[in-house]
A and B are shown apart, each in its own frame.
Chain A
Amino acid sequence: MPKPHPIPPVCRIRAAWISRAAKARIWIFLVFCALCLGLGEQYPFSNFPMYSNMEDHTYLLYITDENGQPIPLMTAYGMRTSILKKFFHTEARKIAKKSGKSMSTMDPQAFEPAGQAAIGRILSYRNDLNPELHPWKEIHLVHLDIRLGAGGLNRTHTRIATRVL
């Protein structure tokens, strides 16, 4: 009677693959691919989702003063508009989740609490900025929707939050 092999067939196949990966010196490549895809956005690992799901619409946020004049966010508060959007998006997603709707189908004004939180972040982002450089009395957060239509790009500006300073 033949002696049973000490390693089960499935394990033998796996061991062969591991051995091949080691010989081909790609085991670090395989491990890092698995970790990045498996863990997703857990720094320093990431599945790099930027521009992975492109829709025909997007949005950004900017701030204006009480007269509706845009304020240069980076120059005035040291924050990039991309960071502002990410702050806002994190809060807005929670609101959308609570209401059980998709963010893109909701009225931007429904995100007023997220807008207020985002303005709070702007004001506390840097503590080394000179307040005298900020003569405005109000900050308005504006949602700029960009959509690709038949006639090209359409932009819609909606004020979603105001903070009196």
Chain B
Amino acid sequence: MNRLPAWFRPVNVRYEWWEEWVMRLAFAALLVRGMPEVTHFTGQPVPNGLAHWMDFTFLSDPAVVLWLRWIYGAMIGLYVLGIWRMLSLPVLAAVLVSYGTLGNSQGAINHITQIFVLVVLGQMVSAWHSGLWLRRRITDKSEYRRQANDNLIHATLQVMAAVYVVSGLTKLINSGGEWIWSVPNLAVQFAKNLDMAYYNTLQTPEGGTVAVIAWIAEWPNAARLLFGTGLVLELFAFLALLRREWAALMGLSLLLMHATISHIMHLGFFYNKILLLVFFINIPFWIVCVARRIANRQESGTRRPAIAPESGAL
């Protein structure tokens, strides 16, 4: 490991208490968005996932949903307080998986919430791992709490990285390794999305899709280079697990990729964007890091580490 350049050496990142709070509150806000609502789906015509074995249509019963809302709300409360995660996260995951499974069992699979629900599952695994294994190894209570919190955040990063790497690998597998070569065919997909957006409301959508289609037709190799960069980003998303700088760099790049796709293809990527902002990029840390560095320089006039080395920033 020591032969690797500093930037490629993995760091056991220690998160500050305020970072952990910001992340926890932001994630709780996403959980609130998943608050149970009465669904209009009353059947599972094409079962997906757990719907092969379970009937989730109880989510269309207002009385059941009212109870679920209370339970779900209480679990968010526990999550925000950072206590009883071994209880709160499985309940939150169960509710979110139930809604997603019912929605995806209507014959039309979408990929809007998967990354978010997988992160909840990843955090659940981390909470159980800490509760059952880490607690026995670390006797000091405050150190245990800190390590458990760090592991929870790192688990989130791992799940997000896994989602992007899997997406990249699937592109290579399904295209027989010729994905980059087939990039000019994206023009067909862009045209389809543009037409679909039009037939949703009969309003011509804004954005530069038509210009992009023309650009791809005129410069196919430039398009291969541009969209190929997106594939490389996905495949190397695991670098974000090495240290803070990589996480921020990959986060910014992936966010830019999503923003570009949103603009051209009229796709949202809401959960992807928020999770990247909060966990990969982690803006509050970098603001404090820069502020401390400036303050330290003004105080001493010399270059000193402005933030503890174990925080994971060079």
Give me the interface of A with B, judged by CB distance under 8 Å. 24-26, 28-33, 36-37, 41-60, 62-63, 70, 72-75, 80-83, 85-87, 90-91, 121, 125-128, 144, 146-148, 152-153
Contacts and interface: CB of A to CB of B under 8 A. Distances in A.
B114 interface: yes
15 contacts: A26-B158, A28-B155, A32-B122, A44-B113, A48-B111, A48-B114, A52-B170, A52-B174, A54-B175, A70-B202, A75-B200, A75-B202, A83-B108, A146-B195, A153-B188
B252 to A, nearest CB: 20
A34 B171 CA distance: 16
A51 B196 contact: no
A151 to B, nearest CB: 10
B174 A121 contact: no
A152 B118 contact: no
B270 to A, nearest CB: 15
Interface stretch (B20-28, B64-72, B76-84, B99-107): B99-107
Interface string B175-194: 10001001111111101100
B35 interface: no
A74 B159 contact: no
By Cβ-Cβ distance, the 7 closest A-B pairs, closest first, are: A86-B108, A74-B200, A62-B199, A29-B158, A32-B162, A48-B167, A52-B174
Contacts of A85: 108, 196
Interface residues of B, number: 65
Interface string B137-156: 00000000000000100110
A26 B238 contact: yes
Given A33-B162, A43-B49, A44-B49, 9 more contacts: A26-B238, A43-B101, A44-B100, A46-B111, A51-B186, A56-B188, A121-B107, A125-B40, A146-B188
Contacts of B162: 28-30, 32-33, 36
B67 to A, nearest CB: 22
Given A28-B158, A54-B179, A44 B200 contact: no
B165 interface: yes
Contacts of A48: 111, 114, 163, 166-167, 170
Contacts of A73: 199-200
B291 interface: no
B189 A54 contact: yes
A153 B12 contact: no
Interface of B: 10, 12, 40, 46, 48-50, 96-97, 100-101, 104, 106-111, 113-114, 117-118, 121-122, 125-126, 151, 154-155, 158-159, 161-163, 165-167, 169-171, 173-175, 179, 182-189, 191-192, 195-197, 199-202, 213, 217, 238, 241
Given A43-B114, A53-B175, A60 B163 contact: no
Give the one of A28, A30, A32, A43 with max B CB within 10 A: A43
Contacts of A43: 48-50, 97, 100-101, 104, 109, 114, 117
Contact of A58 (B189, B200, B213): B189
A148 B187 contact: yes
Contact of A44 (B40, B117, B185): B117
A8 B113 CA distance: 43
A125 B39 CA distance: 11
A70 B199 contact: yes
Contacts of A33: 162, 165-166, 169
Given A29-B241, A43-B114, A153 B213 contact: yes
Nearest to B213: A153
Contacts of B10: 24-25
A20 to B, nearest CB: 11
Given A75-B201, A144-B195, A51 B171 contact: yes
A37 B151 CA distance: 24
Contacts of B182: 54-55
A160 B10 CA distance: 57
